[in-house]
Structure 1
Amino acid sequence: MSYRLYVRPLPLIAESTDDPEARLFNWVLYDAGGDSQAQGSGDLRSTIEQTLSQNGLDDVLLVGLIPGDEALFCVADIPAKQSRFINQALPYAVEEQIAQDIDSVHLALGLHTQEGYRVAAVDRVRMALWLELFSGWQHTRLEAIYPDAALLPTTEGGWSICLDGESAMMGSDRGEWLSMQSANLGMFAHTLAAPPSEDVVAEVPIVVYGTDTEFEAQAALIGELMVPGRLSVRRESLELMPLELLAHAHHHHLCRPINLCQRDFSVKDGKASPLNPWKPLIAVAAVWFAVQVAVEAGMGFYYQQQAEDLRQQAMAVYRESFPNDSRTHAGNVRRVVEGQLRMAGSDGPDVDFVTLMKYTGQQYSNVASSGSVTFNSINYSQSRGELVVDVRAEGYDRLSALRNGLADQGLDAKIGSVVNESSGARGRLTVSGG
């Protein structure tokens, strides 16, 4: 099960860099189902790590929250769509909205809206300190750093306000966030209550979150938010600390914050891959594929050996029956045997003149088509069952081809009295039933 740890440093301690080990944090641990499993207030980092260890948790996703006034909300109107061009144009698009040298500011890109791209700007030195604060925790892996006010639940068409002691966090449906002293809420309310002259006056919904104790202590300030006909204020009581509200909103996607861990401050270090969650499955598939290939190769080798053994057995049987036949091999033994069977089936043990002439004529036609072959005389001995042909060809290879063709048909064919002349080769072909 995947766990996510939300950590927020206490305001007073967050500003101190003298003793990092003495920093105190509010924290809450969420499981994959969105349920809070543990929480703490004002705890040391070692205490939080010990809690994770005692519960056997490892590789917990850590989300760090920094004060909202550490990061400035901007809007960048960039017509480009490719990320390379957007990142190149981003500093120039927000330069006028930032009161310091743009080169000393880290810019994090958010969602694209009708107004443009949402951007978070934070001082580079401060961002490096925050990244160092939330990095290297035992049993965790840093996932993101957000301005805390950016995690408030979105109120459609209006603002969300969370009372947090002497400060207040605020966020609008446009994605902008603010952190200010609670005493200044009245001034903020008057700013919202003053409508533009060209617009029709409409109520702006405002949802105020806080504990019952906060509501009692800040009753006068909340009263200043009540501007009849312009601001519609609704209170939502919190049973626990504001961090749990922020964690709940983020886990259930009730807000759209900008992750500050981008570009030079990315926590992925260029090594993360979208395939990482699938690596175990890929490894199993690779092993299965290798085993399958090995099995297929082994079966192929086995069947090849079996076929070779069968060919050797067939030739052994053929050699027992025809020990003097040196021209037949494993590649043509089937054709030779089929020819012999045809001869035996059509003419029995004796082959007459017509049968011998039939097969001799067929082979003559085959050989004569690719070279000059001539029959000078034909003699047949009925007592010996032999057909003797005086044959002339342009070369001995033609005579040999004629003899081999007859042998492949199951006949006994021999060439004798071969004479090589300047015009070709002449010999005597003797054919019998074998």
Structure 2
Amino acid sequence: TLGAVVSQAQLLRPESGEAALLFEGDQVLVVTEDQDALVDRDTVPSILDALDLSSLTSVGGLLTNLEVSQLSAAPNLNNIEAPVGDYLVKRLSPTGGGLTSTPNLLNLLQGEFAVRFDESSRDALWRRTLGIAALWFLAIIGGLSVQGIWLENQTNQLDTKNFATYQELFPRDSVPVTATQLQRRLANKISSTPETDNNLSMVDLMLRTTNALGSSSELQSLRFRAKQMELTAEVLITNFEELEAIKERSQTMGIAVEVSDASAEQNRVRARLIGTYL
């Protein structure tokens, strides 16, 4: 094929004053005694005209009459209608002269001179794409693992603070073992404790307010005003958008939570919330 330009040129090396043309598609391999070039078909007449040729051999195609008329001196034309590949094979065969008649030829079709093709660019692209996808997958898995560990740690810290707050409110009770047990005890105290109405209202309002805060909020302090039936809570939340989410959750729990004050503190937000019954 014309992809092996050097090999074909060596096989076709003509004598002095002669040239050979190999036609294949829109390109032509022009071979002379000491040089060769793969050119476009429309540039062949100008190249041949610059050479002092007495004989011209064409393989796999013919010069048109128009192309021949563009030559200042018309050489002897020898047209070989066989395909280029068949003609080259014949040149290599013993009946076609082989390599013995041209001792200066090099066989570039085998050994260390064999044509080597690089790996397909498409295969390389797929391998690169799969490699990048694998790295992204590992990064995502690692990120999810770190996030899970962080969330678990935050949950444990919140549970510890909730248990400590329960023990402060009810020092005579034993400390609950699980968060579910803590919620159940608070619910029982709301429904059955023989305390005054104010105490009942305080515990109920506190439970509803803390549930409205969500798991990502960190309760700092609580203050209950019995006359106003109002609970003031100071909390740390993730961002200012969480304030709206707290308001929406409080409506579903039968209380109204208003923001008294909110300010950024390092990478979190400190807010003072006031909870009242609807």
**TM-score (norm. length: structure 2):** 0.34
Structure number having the greater helix percentage: 2
Bigger Cα Rg: 1
Structure number having the greater strand percentage: 1
**TM-score (norm. length: structure 1):** 0.23
